[in-house]
Structure 1
Amino acid sequence: MPLALPAGFPAETETLMFQEAAQTADVVAAQFARNRDTVAALAAQLRAAPPPFVATCARGSSDHAATYAKYLIETQLGIVTASLSPSIGSVYEAPLRLEGALFIAISQSGKSPDLLRNAEAAKAAGARVVALVNVEDSPLARLADTVIALGAGPEKSVAATKSYLASLAAIVQLVAHWKDDPALLAALDTLPQSLRAAWQQDWSPLADGLAEARNLFVLGRGLGLGAAQEAALKFKETCGLHAEAYSSAEVKHGPMALVGAGFPVLVFAQPDETGAGTVALGEEFRARGAQVWTAAGNGELPLVPASHAALAPLLTIQSFYRAINALALRRGHNPDLPPHLNKVTETV
């Protein structure tokens, strides 16, 4: 059914969010080519002198990319990876023991004061600071030991899309080279084309089903948890829809008591050891009468098969971005201009 948009609203394909998300495949292809030598050199240094642990620091969508980094680094490299709260350095000014650690700061703008303060503190404490940043002349880029440029270009919609996926792409390129894994390195070459295919997937059942919703859960696990977190944020900021992300394991510790007849649940099933359990939980919720949409090989929401399981979250989110843009408009929201939000949030 055609959307009846409020006066002055862009059409579905005319929003900045749609146009910017649609650029992702080209952004990632260019990013991989441009950063290959930088990433390979950094990876060689990390293999020669492995860090005792990795600390990430980010906020918002960038922090969801950090969740992906945690699972990818721990599963592929076996190195403990933890999220450092930005307030530790900027508010509490607590001294940190980071000698020899790898500190990964992820930011679109590279100028949030709290992130900068923590990067400075990490460097002073002996960590190697790597910045994944879109604005290459930003303060964060200037203080980092190594900059991995996201190369997403200007992003004018408040809701981050291509810069988020560029962050995930930068993370997986670094891990593939660091591990020197032929299978993962080869899979990188397929990612841009897979992203193009993911953008064409029909997730209209999600927009149809959530047009009048007020709350929902988004479930993922392992490498797919960051994607669930990102989806939940996008529901809130672009659609005015309250959504909470949970691990499909963690949701059993209390939150699942809320899931009854009619309760909406979006399930992201990662094609790895976590996938079967996540799908089974979705079916359990369906049996209670919940409204369940499963993004899986045979789910209600089609997915492009990933050439490596580590790439699946990027393809899932690319398909999701097109669907959430349509849903926002259907609910009477302009996804480019969420109320009370700015493109750059500078926290201290």
Structure 2
Amino acid sequence: MIDHRDERIATLMAREAAEAPGRCEAQVTRNAGLMRQAGQRLRALAPPFAATLARGSSDQAASFAKFLLETRAGIPTLSHAPSIGSLYHATSPRFRGVPLIAISQSGRSPDLIAAAQDAQRQGALVVAVVNDEASPLAAMADICIPIHAGPETSVAATKSFIATLVAITHLVAEWSGDEALGEALPVVGDTLRAAAAADWGEAVPLLRDARTMLVLGRGPTLPIAGEAALKFKETSNLHAEAFSIAEVAHGPMTLVGAGDPVLALGPTDPARAGLRERLEDFRARGAQVIAAGHPDDVVAATLALPSRWEVHPVLGAIAQIQSFYGLANALALARGRNPDTPPHLAKVTRTL
């Protein structure tokens, strides 16, 4: 147990999250040539669809890749379950000529490696997004994209997740030829530094005693909400579930009553349509609504969090998770937990 009264204890999680802006800034420069070549190769491939392969936080990054590929490159993208290849050896032959984006910080999870190998045997082009360039997944990939996050010791992934989102954004910008997205990347370091400095600590008293909550997002922020919900579970033993802002009214909203917390990570692109009205609905139920996003939307919240709403919507979504990690760290400490060593979890999950 950690005494949260020791203000801003320098947990590994906090220190590693603070490294993300500099790591991502350097990554964009270091990977420029690689990303240009990968984008050209993938455009020439002209696949009918793409697929992702990941687990845990990396699977949230995979959902981010799906959003970007479908909205920026016009490429339908599916999530390929690792067990299809690792247990059933049933990867479809229709994967021939299809990019399989395998995302893993360690690059050493046996099921991901086996699934990637099975897809490769069917003719898939394996694109590995990894932190460890010496890993088996990196070695077998047709295209290896290092995220350059540096060593990460805390079980709760932070900088590696952010760096993965930036690498995926860079890849899709080159693949799709999205000039606005490409032009936004050089300022990613400054954007993330400002997000890291944003204090979301006012949310801690509203969440300290919570037992369950919803985390909402849509478009580019839905995967961010998924990662936030996962981190609440991992680091604070708080049962949090992520839902789309558009879908939450189809059932899950009935779970929320007076005093229950709801965290809304609002997008600033067209997906923000209807967000203010949805937050007002939750407030009318007596919920404690904590929200980040466009000022016109978060005005309906109980607590509006500072966020980079004026930047490119994709970078704004990445910035939200940078700010969130500070909240997750502070909340874990306030609940008497060590975010670096969640019980029953390990840095590398060896699923078969």
Which residue, out of 291, 294, 299, partners 1:294?
Answer: 291
Cα distance in 2, alignment partners of residues 12 and 271 from structure 1: 30
Partner amino acid for 1:172? T
**Percent identity between the two aligned chains:** 53
Contact residue 229 and residue 241 of structure 2 kept, 8 A: yes
- 1:332 equivalent in alignment to 2:336: yes
Contact residue 86 and residue 118 of structure 2 kept, 8 A: no
Q: CA RMSD in A?
A: 1.5
Count of equivalent residues: 344
- 1:23 equivalent in alignment to 2:7: no
Question: Aligned residue for 2:96?
Answer: 99
Partner amino acid for 1:341? L
Cα distance in 1, alignment partners of residues 132 and 35 from structure 2: 18
Partner amino acid for 2:320? T
- 1:264 equivalent in alignment to 2:261: yes
- 1:347 equivalent in alignment to 2:351: yes
Which residue, out of 148, 151, 154, partners 1:151?
Answer: 148
- Measured against aligned partners, the alpha-carbon deviations of 1:200-246 in whole angstroms (never above 9, x if no partner) come to 11211211210111100000011111000000000000001110001
From the superposition, tell whether residues 10 and 21 of structure 1 become closer, same or farther in structure 2 (CA, over 3 Å).
farther
Using the TM superposition, name which of 157-166 and 302-311 deviates more.
Answer: 302-311
Question: Aligned residue for 1:251?
Answer: 248
5+ residue gaps, structure 1: none
Question: Aligned residue for 1:52?
Answer: 48
Q: TM-score, normalised by structure 1?
A: 0.96
Contact residue 221 and residue 278 of structure 1 kept, 8 A: no
Contact residue 108 and residue 134 of structure 1 kept, 8 A: yes
Which residue, out of 170, 178, 186, partners 1:181?
Answer: 178
Which residue, out of 79, 82, 95, partners 1:83?
Answer: 79
From the superposition, tell whether residues 154 and 10 of structure 1 become closer, same or farther in structure 2 (CA, over 3 Å).
farther
Using the TM superposition, name which of 287-296 and 247-256 deviates more.
Answer: 247-256
5+ residue gaps, structure 2: 299-303
Cα distance in 2, alignment partners of residues 196 and 223 from structure 1: 20
Question: Aligned residue for 1:303?
Answer: 307
Cα distance in 2, alignment partners of residues 304 and 272 from structure 1: 13
Contact residue 194 and residue 306 of structure 1 kept, 8 A: no
Q: TM-score, normalised by structure 2?
A: 0.95
How much does 1:260 deviate?
1.6
Partner amino acid for 2:291? T
Cα distance in 2, alignment partners of residues 200 and 61 from structure 1: 23
How much does 1:306 deviate?
4.8
Contact residue 269 and residue 279 of structure 1 kept, 8 A: no
Cα distance in 1, alignment partners of residues 163 and 193 from structure 2: 14
Question: Aligned residue for 1:194?
Answer: 191
- Measured against aligned partners, the alpha-carbon deviations of 1:38-59 in whole angstroms (never above 9, x if no partner) come to 1100101122221111100000
Secondary structure of 1:122 counterpart: helix
Cα distance in 2, alignment partners of residues 110 and 159 from structure 1: 16
- Measured against aligned partners, the alpha-carbon deviations of 1:148-188 in whole angstroms (never above 9, x if no partner) come to 00111110100000000011001000011112222111100
Runs of 4+ in 1 over 4 A off after TM superposition: none
Question: Aligned residue for 2:107?
Answer: 110
- Measured against aligned partners, the alpha-carbon deviations of 1:271-311 in whole angstroms (never above 9, x if no partner) come to 01111323321221111111100111323111023531121
How much does 1:10 deviate?
7.2
Partner amino acid for 2:165? L
Using the TM superposition, name which of 276-285 and 115-124 deviates more.
Answer: 276-285
